[in-house]
């Protein structure tokens, strides 16, 4: 089924499947409306008062009929359930190699950051025929990223990352709406998604990123904020080194004194910046100041990209933090996060940075 005149065009790889589901449900509803209303009208006319229709010996039982009206709807429901679940899983699971693009929603605009460094407002440029994964968060209230032509919509909630993926199949401009009432100018929170030929997209990407990649900008910000003063290898303050944190196990201090190991994903890095006392790396004191309110989500993203780059380049070490042997006195206490695989292979939960992990996590170019 291609397009019905009152529908937006179908411009993504999953759009036609959503449309099929919608059409099947509509067709079934229409079929039963006609069947039921048709029978109703027919019998009302046939058995109206005064007609000489045959009213003797009405059938009060029909096994065939009962099996039919129970069995057929059950089969239809199972088929719809199966098809829609399959579609839902496709929509929710982004392909592994989908290109990440970062989205921050705020009253009343969409800010988009491409890993290569270019950013844009209320516009999103994407390449044709490539899987794109949006990683989104909000500065203030709940918004919802909605592109009708792609048949995708995802709520964007402050304090967490939401993800949405699609593969655009038609070059051109497509409407972008906020689909969650988010305040006075909600209706003005609109934008455009531009689908470009991949070559044009590459050209476009490199036209406007004077500041370098997000990771590079993050490195700059990391310096400006003085993060290296504590997280640098030569620091007197005991703070974890950050290379190797991303996508590797991080041991956390639990209230009872026990340790819990989590994976240092984007969520963890984000929360460690804005809410550092919440999850304290085992063996460290909760002395990091919170950057909540000082950094907007776009800037936090820069730092995350920088910290990610430390784990994906050079087998876990690169950028501004260079490897040094920790001072002898603090060596034993700081073992978990401060040690590096290359330096001290005997300790090192974070040292789990194996080559295949690093390959798998190098999500940007």
CB of 182 to Cu ion, least distance (A): 3
Cα–Cα distance measured from residue 91 to residue 106, given in angstroms and rounded to the nearest whole number: 25
Closer to Cu ion by CB, 176 or 214: give it. 176
Contact by Cβ (8 Å): 227, 306: no
CB of 180 to Cu ion, least distance (A): 6
Q: Calculate the alpha carbon distances from 242 to 98, 206, 293, 316, 364 in Å.
A: 25, 29, 22, 10, 19
Q: Calculate the alpha carbon distances from 258 to 119, 250, 262, 355 in Å.
A: 43, 14, 13, 30
Closer to Cu ion by CB, 180 or 219: give it. 180
Q: Tell me which of 164, 182, 321, 337 binds Cu ion, using CB under 5 A.
A: 182
* DSSP three-state, residue 223: helix
Q: Residues binding Cu ion: what is the number (CB under 5 A)? A: 4
Closer to Cu ion by CB, 182 or 321: give it. 182
Peptide bond before residue 108 is cis, with ω within 30 degrees of 0: yes
Indicate whether 104 belongs to the interface with Cu ion (CB under 5 A). no
CB of 269 to Cu ion, least distance (A): 26
Closer to Cu ion by CB, 176 or 353: give it. 176
Segment near Cu ion (CB under 5 A); pick from 60-68, 83-91, 188-196, 269-277:
188-196
Segment near Cu ion (CB under 5 A); pick from 3-11, 109-117, 179-187, 301-309:
179-187
Cα–Cα distance measured from residue 240 to residue 264, given in angstroms and rounded to the nearest whole number: 13
CB of 189 to Cu ion, least distance (A): 4
Q: Tell me which of 178, 245, 288, 350 binds Cu ion, using CB under 5 A.
A: 178
CB of 101 to Cu ion, least distance (A): 18
Interface residues for Cu ion in 131-160 (CB under 5 A)? 143
Closer to Cu ion by CB, 18 or 189: give it. 189
- Of 280, 265, 346, 261, residue with least CA distance to 311: 265
Residue 244, φ and ψ in degrees, nearest 5: 95, -5
Segment near Cu ion (CB under 5 A); pick from 74-82, 161-169, 187-195, 331-339:
187-195
Q: Calculate the alpha carbon distances from 65 to 70, 200, 223, 294 in Å.
A: 9, 61, 77, 69
CB of 118 to Cu ion, least distance (A): 23
Contact by Cβ (8 Å): 117, 221: no
C-alpha dihedral (157, 293, 305, 104), degrees to nearest 10: 40
Output b/e per residue, 192-229; b: 16+ Cβ within 10 A.
ebbbbeeeebeebbeeebeeebbbbbbbebbeeeebbe
Closer to Cu ion by CB, 160 or 206: give it. 160
Q: Tell me which of 189, 215, 335, 357 binds Cu ion, using CB under 5 A.
A: 189
CB of 92 to Cu ion, least distance (A): 22
Contact by Cβ (8 Å): 242, 307: yes
CB of 266 to Cu ion, least distance (A): 22
- Of 12, 295, 281, residue with least CA distance to 128: 12
Closer to Cu ion by CB, 101 or 182: give it. 182
Closer to Cu ion by CB, 193 or 245: give it. 193
Residues lying near Cu ion in the complex (CB under 5 A) = 143, 178, 182, 189
């Amino acid at each position: 089924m291609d397009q019905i005149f009152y529908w937006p065009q179908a411009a993504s790889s999953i759009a036609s499947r959503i449309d099929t589901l919608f059409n099947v449900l509509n067709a079934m509803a229409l079929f039963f409306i006609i069947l039921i209303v048709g029978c109703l009208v027919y019998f009302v006319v046939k058995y109206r008062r005064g007609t000489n229709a045959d009213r003797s010996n009405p059938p009060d039982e029909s096994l065939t009929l009962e099996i039919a009206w129970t069995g057929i709807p059950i089969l239809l429901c199972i088929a719809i359930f199966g098809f829609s679940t399959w579609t839902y899983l496709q929509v929710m699971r982004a392909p592994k190699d989908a290109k990440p693009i970062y989205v921050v929603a705020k009253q009343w605009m969409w800010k988009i950051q491409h890993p290569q460094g270019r950013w844009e407002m209320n516009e999103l440029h994407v390449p044709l025929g490539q899987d794109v994964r949006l990683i989104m968060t909000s500065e203030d209230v709940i918004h919802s990223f909605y592109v009708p032509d792609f048949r995708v919509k995802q709520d964007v909630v402050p304090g967490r990352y939401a993800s949405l993926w699609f593969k655009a199949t038609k070059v051109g401009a497509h409407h972008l709406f906020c689909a969650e009432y988010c305040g006075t100018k909600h209706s003005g929170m609109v934008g455009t998604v531009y689908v470009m030929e991949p070559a044009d997209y590459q050209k476009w990407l490199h036209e406007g990123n004077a500041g370098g990649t997000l990771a590079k900008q993050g490195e700059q910000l990391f310096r400006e904020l003085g993060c290296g003063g504590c997280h640098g290898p030569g620091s007197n303050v005991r703070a974890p080194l950050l290379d190797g944190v991303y996508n590797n196990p991080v041991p956390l201090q639990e209230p009872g004194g026990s340790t819990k190991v989590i994976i240092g994903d984007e969520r963890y890095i984000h929360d460690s910046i804005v809410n550092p006392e919440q999850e304290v790396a085992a063996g460290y004191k909760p002395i990091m100041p919170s950057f909540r309110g000082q950094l907007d989500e776009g800037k936090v993203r820069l730092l995350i990209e920088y910290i990610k780059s430390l784990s994906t380049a050079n087998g876990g070490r690169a950028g501004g933090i260079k490897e040094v042997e920790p001072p002898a006195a603090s060596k034993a206490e700081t073992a978990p996060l401060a040690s590096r695989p290359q330096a001290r292979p005997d300790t090192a939960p974070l040292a789990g940075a194996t080559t295949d992990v690093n390959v798998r996590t190098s999500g940007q170019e």
